[in-house]
């Protein structure tokens, strides 16, 4: 039997090599076609409105290429290469551009722009700001992440009602668009390449970090899940999606620095608060309140653990 198995190994390797080469060629072809189409869409999108046709092309390309592979491990590797190839034509650029326009536009009852909003490095300074968030803000007397800080500036500086400021935290990939997602995309993009640096330098942020760590391991809901159920071991995945081990520095660095991200399957840019909200939904937890201490605590825990890694967001994901 051993001799028989050995005699089949070269043929198996040849088939595997041929399959991998075919998969790579298919990905290259799909990348060329979908990226070219999306580039054409971007040139036409003068009103900076995300085009669902682009999302459909990318989603179809992902689905078609993924279906060609039989071995999950190799598929994940090749999809990662495909994602890298698509990054140059990332539709998140549309959200970044819209966010930049919103940042500079006088808004609200007070007709004030976000150029007066201090994200921690001074009023209006966005370069490198996201890489140092969350942090404690004395003017708010609270630890805030980027999204809760944007809401604070909307309310206190622009004069918006708090309920109105968070009325549409997430878009639907179609008619319902979120200003907060666009603003987040713009601000985060200004930290691309900067290294995460979230120090635990005040008692309040140390408290928030400790709360986030506790929440990460807290089990509850109808399924008795916690964040750690899916994200504290190596080698876990759901279908073809790897689940990063967020309990390690390397895992937190790899995962946290790639959010926000354009989700091809949804035709929408998703922020880190959305990611947490969706995780709570999947765990059957009560809905996570946008900008709540729970959301900020979990963000603080993961952001600090990602220290030293370069921000790669907004990225592109399945």
**Which sequence positions are flagged as catalytic?**
279
Residue 220, beta-bridge partner list: 225
Separation of alpha carbons 312 and 55, rounded Å: 21
End-to-end CA distance of the chain: 43
Residue 130 has what DSSP assignment? G
Phi, psi dihedral angles at 316 (to 5 degrees)? -130, 135
β-strands 241-242, 142-144: how paired?
unpaired
Q: What is the DSSP string of 171-234?
A: --SSS---HHHHHHHHHHHTTTTPBP-----SHHHHHHHHHHHHHHH--BTTTTB-HHHHHSST
Separation of alpha carbons 173 and 101, rounded Å: 19
């Amino acid at each position: 039997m051993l001799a028989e198995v050995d005699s089949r190994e070269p043929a198996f390797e040849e088939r595997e090599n041929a399959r991998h080469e075919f998969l790579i060629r298919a990905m290259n072809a799909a990348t060329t076609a979908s990226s070219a189409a999306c580039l054409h869409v971007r040139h036409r999108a003068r009103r900076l409105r995300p085009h669902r046709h682009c999302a459909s092309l990318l989603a179809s390309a992902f689905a078609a290429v993924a279906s060609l592979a039989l071995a999950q491990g190799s598929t994940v590797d090749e999809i990662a290469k495909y994602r890298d190839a698509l990054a140059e034509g990332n539709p998140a650029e549309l959200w970044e551009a819209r966010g930049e326009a919103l940042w500079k536009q006088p808004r609200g009852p007070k007709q004030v722009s976000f150029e007066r909003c201090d994200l921690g490095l001074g009023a209006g300074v966005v370069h490198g700001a996201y890489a140092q968030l969350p942090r404690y803000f004395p003017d708010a007397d609270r630890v805030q992440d980027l999204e809760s800080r944007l809401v604070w500036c909307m309310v206190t500086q622009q004069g918006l009602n708090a309920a109105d400021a968070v009325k549409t935290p997430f878009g639907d990939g179609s008619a319902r668009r979120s200003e907060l997602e666009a603003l987040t995309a713009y601000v985060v993009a200004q930290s691309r390449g900067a290294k995460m640096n979230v120090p635990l330098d005040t008692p309040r942020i140390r408290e928030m970090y400790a709360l986030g760590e506790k929440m990460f391991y807290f089990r509850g809901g109808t399924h008795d899940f916690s964040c750690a159920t899916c994200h504290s071991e190596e080698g876990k995945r759901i279908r073809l999606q790897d689940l990063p081990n967020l309990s390690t520095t390397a895992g937190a660095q790899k995962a946290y620095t790639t959010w926000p991200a354009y989700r091809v399957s949804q035709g929408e840019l998703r922020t880190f608060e959305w990611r947490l909200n969706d995780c709570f939904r999947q765990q059957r937890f009560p809905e996570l309140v946008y900008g709540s201490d729970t959301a900020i605590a979990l963000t603080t825990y993961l952001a600090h653990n990602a220290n030293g890694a370069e921000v790669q967001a907004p990225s592109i994901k399945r």
